[in-house]
A and B are shown apart, each in its own frame.
Chain A
Amino acid sequence: MNSDKIVSFPHLGCYAVVFDYFLSNVLKCKILVPPPTTRRTIELGSKYSPDFVCVPFKYNLGNYIEALEKGANVLIQGGGGCRYGYYAELQEEILRKLGYDFEFYNLIVDNHISLKKGYRFCKKINSKTNIFKCGYYLFNSLVMILCIDKIEKYIRSNMGFEVTRGEFEKLEEEYFSSFDKNNGLFKIIKNYYRYKKNFKKISLNKNGKHLKVMLIGELYSLIDFNTSYNTERKLMKMGIEVYRETDLTYLLIGKKMRLSKMVRKSKKYIKYNLGADASLSVFNALRAVRDGYDGIIHMKSFGCIPEITALSILENIASENNIPMISLSFDAEDNEVGVDTRLEAFYDMIEGRK
């Protein structure tokens, strides 16, 4: 076991458990999951970031600093797309200027995560690993992501209607703690079915008249609940069925397969792919119109270029089809109360319309 290396990575929503699983099995060294993102994280991050860089950069930097404070000495950056793919170099430079001592591994090539570079990184840290092992655990991690996303999707659509409050969250916590580093593929799948059954057992108070809201927007703000101040959970607790397609399953599998189809299906408004997840936003907004959703909530981090492009089209869609839409733009300095007020006003509006 490689004892002197402590590997760490930035948070991404609830997926830390997956990264932890993959890295600890492949690298066989100590993995440090950075402390949960708090107000301090973002304050640290934005203190050292350039002025108008988008928010994920600040969160990542904060995560890195907190991990380094806890003793991590190997950092990984593996996010791609739009600006995210170029974060790594500047983050490394900033952290070096701050005087930390660490190794930094950037797994991005040409804006996408590169498996070859990733394998080379694994081999460097743990020379005993081989390609089959990596492939096996990568596959397992992928299955884990699929399972988590399916469970989360069920939670999103049903949590608002639980009879006893807090049941879903309790079970969700239990599900996340049920992941074990020694789990094999079979165990992961078995676990998934067990918990799926448990989730289905929770009694619901759902009649057909509830409100349905479509969440669209930029991937990081949607997945990472800290960025959006738990907007999603707040909506669920108001008793709304929330639908969101953007998750890691979409990013890793769905995007490649469905992009051209999505653009084709929304050809009334767009002709080309708008870049990043903007095409999905437009596609899902049209879907919300088609399926009779009560409202659209668009979330992005401040200055997100593809979503700004999408937003000008979404406004057209919303006004032509007469569907309420709000757009939330998150920055490091935003306060939670302002977001809450807007959400409540939105809730009142869509409830009044119903």
Chain B
Amino acid sequence: MRKKVKVGIPRSLLYYRRNVFWKKFLEGIGVNVILSPITNKDIIEKGKSLSIDESCLPSKIYFGHAYYLVDKCDYILVPRVSNYGKEKRVCMKFYGLYDTLNNLFPDTKFLVYNIDYLNWNFEFVEMMKLGLKLNRNIFRVLWSYFSSRRKEKNYRLSLVNEQINVLKSNKLKVLVVAHPYVIYDDYLGSNVINYLKEMDIQILYSDRMDRKEAISYSKDFSKTLYWLYAKENIGSVFYYKEAVDGVIFLSSFPCGVDSLVNELAIRKIENVPSINIILDESTAEAGLQTRLESFIDIIKARRDNE
């Protein structure tokens, strides 16, 4: 029997957005998927030492994850995303992710797919190319693509439905607005999430709502916003504005997009209490908890008054 190709996926950045699709697609074409572990101290230290000081914390963590995978698999999957069409651009760090990694680890092979709709690089074609590199059977690749898309869609739907159920509860509800790679990362967002859960507060996630709907809501906020991920985040704020008791903006230092968009959003939503938490390498848990505690006291008091 032929040995299976091993493909590693760093558990950071776009992993939290596309994990279901990637895993199903790669397994469908007969590839062993290796995931890097949940973010831990070693990974962060390694990532920090590999990257430029000024780069944002999630991308530092990404390099740490990639380093972990370097000698454990044949390929590492790295997407290069530029845009999904007009006014659907993404943060510039995704433009050069592949090239940076390629320069950091010159001896490692990377699987890259390039999404750049304005230059006619569509996801379907790019995934086909990637699939055919690993598996010659085009029918298998096609089937794998469509089935994994369907699975991803169903998974998204289940998340959205879960969120709708959360919305029905009578407890205090807080919307956490953050990029998925900040909020689901064990080192970055989990402190906040765990604390909120401890306080028995229902958490709504900004990425667990219908993306198209979120984008249409973001038009209320700003007509010239052109970042896709920021649109989805901000759209959720304006969608849930009436339903939640408070909004927590969670961003990592120094996130370029959030520095503008979150600031503007805080200025524009007036009658909902909001807090802007910026996570960096030295965020102390105690300080964070104090801030969250006082924020929760405020929203509790507000609710009791009504």
Contact = CB atoms under 8 A, between A and B. Distances in A.
A312 B256 CA distance: 18
Contacts of A270: 96, 99
A246 B102 CA distance: 26
A53 B226 contact: no
A160 B95 CA distance: 38
Interface in B243-287: 253-257, 259-261, 263-264, 267-268, 278
A51 B278 contact: yes
Interface stretch (A3-11, A12-20, A106-114): A106-114
Contact of B96 (A106, A110, A303, A309): A309
A305 B252 CA distance: 14
Interface in B96-138: 96-100, 102-104, 112, 114
A305 B259 contact: no
Contact of B264 (A90, A309, A310): A90
A312 B267 contact: no
Interface in B80-95: 80, 82, 86-87, 89, 91-93, 95
Contacts of B169: none
B96 A275 contact: yes
A93 B267 contact: yes
Nearest to B221: A89
Contacts of B263: 50, 53, 90
Contact of A52 (B102, B226, B254, B264): B254
A86 B86 contact: no
A278 interface: yes
Given A54-B256, A272-B95, A305-B93, A312 B100 contact: yes
B52 A308 contact: yes
Contacts of B93: 305, 308-309
A316 interface: yes
Contacts of A108: 224
A306 B95 contact: yes
Given A89-B222, A93-B264, A308-B55, A53 B92 contact: no
B82 A303 contact: no
A346 interface: no
A312 B92 contact: no
Interface in B217-248: 222, 224-227
A269 interface: yes
A24 to B, nearest CB: 27
Given A50-B259, A93-B264, A303-B254, A111 B99 contact: no
A134 B51 CA distance: 47
A86 B92 contact: no
Contact of B54 (A83, A271, A273, A302): A302
Contacts of A93: 264, 267-268
Nearest to B97: A309
A26 interface: no
Given A97-B267, A312-B51, A111 B226 contact: yes
Given A86-B224, A329-B54, A53 B87 contact: no
A110 B226 contact: yes
A311 interface: yes
A276 B89 CA distance: 13
Contacts of A87: 260
A269 B98 CA distance: 11
B277 to A, nearest CB: 12
A306 B254 CA distance: 13
A312 B52 contact: yes
Nearest to A53: B259
A329 B254 CA distance: 14
Interface string A43-82: 0000000111110010000000000000000000000001
A90 B96 contact: no
B257 A111 contact: no
A53 B91 CA distance: 14
Contact of A309 (B86, B99, B261): B99
Given A111-B89, A271-B102, A329-B54, A310 B96 contact: yes
Contacts of B86: 110
Nearest to B94: A275
B261 to A, nearest CB: 7
A272 B99 contact: yes
Interface in A84-123: 85-90, 93, 97, 106, 108-111
Contacts of A274: 92, 95-96, 99
B129 to A, nearest CB: 14
B103 A312 contact: yes
A303 B92 CA distance: 12
A57 B91 CA distance: 18
20 contacts: A86-B225, A86-B261, A88-B224, A89-B222, A89-B224, A106-B224, A110-B86, A269-B99, A270-B96, A272-B80, A272-B82, A272-B98, A274-B99, A275-B96, A303-B254, A305-B92, A308-B93, A309-B92, A309-B99, A313-B99
Interface of B: 51-52, 54-56, 80, 82, 86-87, 89, 91-93, 95-100, 102-104, 112, 114, 222, 224-227, 253-257, 259-261, 263-264, 267-268, 278
